[in-house]
Amino acid sequence: MKFKPDKREPREVAKPPPEALGRVDSGGPWGPTQFDLPDRSGNSQAIVIVVLVAVALLLVIAGFWTLVYFQIT
């Protein structure tokens, strides 16, 4: 015996906030999307500095780990 599933009325799950209705610039009613990236100018220096600091930190951690490893054995 087969039962037919009940039909549900379609309804709107979420609405954008009221202050977003007048928004014209990028992104639409929910704000910026992943495609609205900032311009490439000006960020490259900050990225290089962060990468250099991260590499230096990893080298320090690797050095301490090596020092501890050889002190124990």
Whether 52 is in a domain gets the answer yes
Cα distance between residue 37 and residue 41, in whole Å: 12
Is there a domain that residue 2 lies in? no
- What domain count does the chain have? 1
Residue 63 lies in a domain: yes
The one-letter amino acid code at 36 reads D
Distances (CA, A) of 20 to 25, 36, 39: 10, 17, 24
Residue 69 lies in a domain: yes
The whole-model pTM stands at: 0.44
- 4 lies in some domain: no
pLDDT in tens, 14-72: 777 776 666 555 556 566 666 655 666 666 788 889 999 999 999 999 999 999 999 88
Structural tokens at position 58 = 């990893």
DSSP symbols for 6-58: PP----------GGGTT--STTGGG---TT-PPPSTTTHHHHHHHHHHHHHHH
Domain span including residue 51 = 45-73
8-27 pLDDT tens trace: 887 777 777 776 666 555 55
| Residue 65 counted as domain residue | yes
